[in-house]
Amino acid sequence: LAKTTQPISMDSYEGQEVNITCSHNNIATNDYITWYQQFPSQGPRFIIQGYKTKVTNEVASLFIPADRKSSTLSLPRVSLSDTAVYYCLVGVGYGGATNKLIFGTGTLLAVQP
């Protein structure tokens, strides 16, 4: 699975939009980009997945440029409860035989009042 690089930590304030960028220079043609969120003492939780351009759901948006070598998770109007670690992963999304998800160290987002 392609290796990903993301910032170790980010700070924000309540109400701001937060953008976390992930680099995945070696992404394969059939790889999807997936983001997870993890709160302390809990397992990771799937947030969003995309292949190209833009994907939006009720929680976040995912922006993927044409070359797909990076992606940006956008969290609109964060609140204190969005303080968590965010992981970027790449792997086969549909129809493939992904047997494991490879997590990096993630980005610790700290939201302050």
Partner 1 sequence: DTGVSQNPRHKITKRGQNVTFRCDPISEHNRLYWYRQTLGQGPEFLTYFQNEAQLEKSRLLSDRFSAERPKGSFSTLEIQRTEQGDSAMYLCASSPGRGGRNTEAFFGQGTRLTVV
42 touches partner 1 (CB under 8 A) = yes
5 touches partner 1 (CB under 8 A) = no
Q: Which of 41, 68, 75 is nearest to 52 (CA)?
A: 68
Residue 86 DSSP SS3: strand
Q: Tell which one of 73, 91, 109, 111 touches partner 1 (CB under 8 A).
A: 91
Tokens coding 81: 């409860």
Contact window for partner 1 (CB under 8 A) among 9-17, 41-49, 52-60, 70-78: 41-49
Q: What count of other Cβ atoms lies within 10 Å of the Cβ of residue 65?
A: 11
Q: Tell which one of 7, 13, 15, 102 touches partner 1 (CB under 8 A).
A: 102
